[in-house]
Chain A
Amino acid sequence: MSAKNKLLDVQHVTVEFHVGGLLGGTRLVAVNDVSFSIDSDRPEIYTLAGESGSGKTTLARMMLHDLDPTRGKVLFEGRDLTTVKKRGEVMDFMKKVQPVFQNPFETFSPLRRVEEYLYDTARSFIGARNRREAAPIVENALNQVGLSLDEVSRRYPHELSGGQIQRVAVARALIPQPRLILADEPVSMVDASLRMAIVNLFRKLRDEQQVSVLYITHDLATAYYISDRIAIMLRGYVVESGPVEAVLDRPLHPYTQLLKESVPQPRPTDRNAWAQHIDLGTLEIKEFGRIGCKFAGRCPHVMDICRQADPPDVEVDGRTVKCYLYLEDAKPVA
């Protein structure tokens, strides 16, 4: 498949930060040799899942062109993001990739009416010259998310609920008719009863509008509900990735298994399974500096080799796992 057919192509990306003062300090590898891609022809919802410190937020920032990779490349529609510099090029990029942020109450300035941002977006990307021209575009975008201009008109953020604001945020992101929406924890700060509306919206966007969604979350339940494929991240590595049903119904990597077990299920068939005692690592930050597999400290199946070098990526049962346990079973991925 040529590069042109990929909407987003992340190639062996590593992001390192220098932590600490000018003298001394350490290197923090936030993202370590991560590769994945999203096809151009078929829109999909791709989830980056992981807990805090997994590197998913850093990856998200990188894909919004907020920071550059230390090594590796990010290609959008075949073009290396680091070459996108001039205002015109940046605007082109933003027309095709739009974000939805986590905190609905910080997404819009509390002192401005939310509709202003929609009008601004319409003027910047669709060429509407004034409010009158922009109004039908704004109305249309709001309708797509189940709202209307009447409901939202003249309102400040605090006059709307978290769920409504997130929907307005998605509407705003839709105005330039993007190909990719990057949603960073879009429902984690939204009330439980309103979450589904937004999550269902992403499904609708994929099915009816041909928009792909890069969904970043720690909530495996909603990820299972809407994703096509999922990548599980731990301390900068992708430890397991593949079709979501394969990865979450039959998790292979011990960390994925731990994650799945730890998600509290709403209809617990066996409350005691979740209640089985687990040992939380003493000081989690130590895991970052570990040589070899980052999960070795907590893994119930740890072997000597796990502590010596990074495990290779192995293709097993329709997905990719970064684990020595499966080395004999299948062929390593190049």
Chain B
Amino acid sequence: MLTTLRDLLKYDGRFRISFIFLVAVLVLALLSTVSPYNPGRTFLVPTDMPPSLEHPFGTSSRGQDIFWWMSFAVRNSLLLGLMTAAVSRVIAIFVGLTAGYRGGFADRILMSVNDSFVVMPVLPILILLSFLLRGSMNLVMLGVIMGLFGWPWDARLIRSQVLSLKERPFTRTAVYSGTTSFRITINEHLPFVLPVVFATTINNLIWAIGMEVTLSVLGLSDVTLPTIGTTIFWANQHQALVAGVWWWLAAPVFVAIILFLGLYLFFSSVNEYIDPRTRLRLMGG
């Protein structure tokens, strides 16, 4: 693992940049543990102050230090994204591998369910659910619900990968070595599927965080909870742009850009690295 990291840092410019961005975002998130200000309380500092040494991102119309607020916001957004990614990965891998390897009836049922989810309009449904669950909507619930919607595209991707792997002679060799179908899926096919899973995870993360921002901006999540999206929500509530408090909007947008760029660059450099073809070239094949 460490040698991988070292190799990537040394030789891949994209990875270096993404590494810096993501570390910066992570540090910001971790700083939330030592925040001098409680994000649940308002009017702790003078309002509408532009960025300065004392308040690096300025202060908001609600009397909160935006920098320390953002540290919680980033933490929560990241946690949410990771939760969604985790839930949807598990479902996507299970559905994709099963449908691909078993084929037949199981495949048809799973893919019908899959396709129904694909055609469902996610945003309106999430909006509806947010309305219905207004009271009890919290981060975990939002993460799980989004996870339940984030798997279908990827499941199909995984399934088609497995379908093509099934036809390759080494699958038959494994069958004739006495290996059970389950172990074949895990030992033979999963290593090929993992790069796909990795690519879709990052994609999923970006989607989840973006979806959260959308919902929050519309005021549909728990607005007392600091996230990137709720920051924008509150800034809009107080008409920050019109009032000239541009830093209140700039901060979440800037952090979001760094986060997304970092994730994307990370994804593309690591994906190339773990691609079986690159690994083969590395090994001298």
Contact = CB atoms under 8 A, between A and B. Distances in A.
Q: Answer whether A and B touch in the complex at a CB cut-off of 8 Å.
A: yes
Interface residues of B, number: 21
A193 B169 CA distance: 24
A120 B172 contact: no
Given A110-B285, A112-B188, A124 B173 contact: no
Contact of A120 (B178, B191, B192, B283): B178
Interface string A83-118: 000000001001000110111001111111000110
B176 interface: yes
A159 to B, nearest CB: 7
Nearest to A103: B169
Interface of A: 91, 94, 98-99, 101-103, 106-112, 116-117, 120-121, 123-125, 156, 158-159, 169, 172-173
A99 B191 CA distance: 25
Given A107-B169, A158-B280, A158-B283, A94 B176 contact: yes
Interface in B67-103: none
Contacts of A94: 175-176, 178
A120 B191 CA distance: 18
A110 B280 contact: yes
Contacts of B284: 158-159
B136 interface: no
Nearest to B276: A111
A120 B170 contact: no
Contacts of A101: 169, 172-173
A109 B176 contact: no
Nearest to B168: A106
B134 interface: no
Given A111-B276, A156-B285, A158-B283, A172 B178 contact: no
A95 B77 CA distance: 55
Contacts of B108: none
B169 A124 contact: no
Nearest to A98: B176
B179 to A, nearest CB: 6
9 contacts: A106-B168, A107-B173, A110-B276, A121-B176, A124-B178, A124-B179, A125-B178, A156-B283, A158-B283
A159 B192 CA distance: 19
